[in-house]
């Protein structure tokens, strides 16, 4: 399987990406949580019984530029939101997996940082071979 098909994961940020449009309310999403720093919504193509995406509200292409350039308050707010969503949805009892793709080898498709939150069944090995 060739995984080298995703976006670069590097700036510049594209304001026309699909998650930017969701943040602006231009296309719908099935929202599960929102605060000052983050929005969480159901993935349109779930890979587990529960598959939620959590995105920061700021303009970050991937984890790399978020970690390097986001103000401390945005990083704290976003990470706390991810934890809050997992707890709020009841995932802590059975456990869950977080995943964030960055760049071509990860096959990142959407160039706005997002954390996948998977839960609802045993999730198998860490990586598909």
Rounded to whole angstroms, the Cα distance separating 9 from 54 reads: 17
Catalytic positions, written as ranges: 114
Q: Which spans of this chain sit near ligand AMP (rule: CB under 6 A)?
A: 18, 29, 43-45, 53, 101, 107-110
CB of 35 to ligand AMP, least distance (A): 19
The percent helix, strand, coil of the chain (3-state, each to 5) is: 25, 20, 55
CB of 34 to ligand AMP, least distance (A): 14
Which residue number, 45 or 71, has a Cβ lying nearer to ligand AMP?
A: 45
Residue that is written with structure tokens 């976003």 in the block = 78
Cα 111 to Cα 11, 80, 84, 103: the distances in Å are 9, 22, 24, 9
Which residue number, 14 or 43, has a Cβ lying nearer to ligand AMP?
A: 43
Which residue number, 15 or 73, has a Cβ lying nearer to ligand AMP?
A: 15
Residue that is written with structure tokens 């099935």 in the block = 30
CB of 127 to ligand AMP, least distance (A): 14
């Amino acid at each position: 399987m060739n995984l080298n098909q995703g976006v670069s994961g590097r700036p510049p940020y594209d304001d026309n990406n699909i998650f930017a449009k969701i943040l602006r309310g231009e296309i719908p999403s099935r929202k599960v949580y929102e605060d000052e720093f983050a929005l969480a919504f159901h993935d349109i193509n779930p890979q587990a019984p529960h598959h939620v995406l959590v995105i920061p509200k700021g303009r970050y292409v991937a984890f790399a530029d978020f970690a390097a350039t986001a103000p401390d308050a945005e990083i704290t707010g976003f990470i706390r939101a991810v934890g809050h969503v997992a707890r709020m949805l009841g995932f802590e009892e059975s456990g869950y997996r977080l995943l964030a793709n960055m760049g071509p080898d990860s096959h990142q498709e959407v160039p706005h940082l997002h954390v996948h939150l998977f839960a609802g069944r045993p999730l198998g090995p860490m990586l598909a071979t």
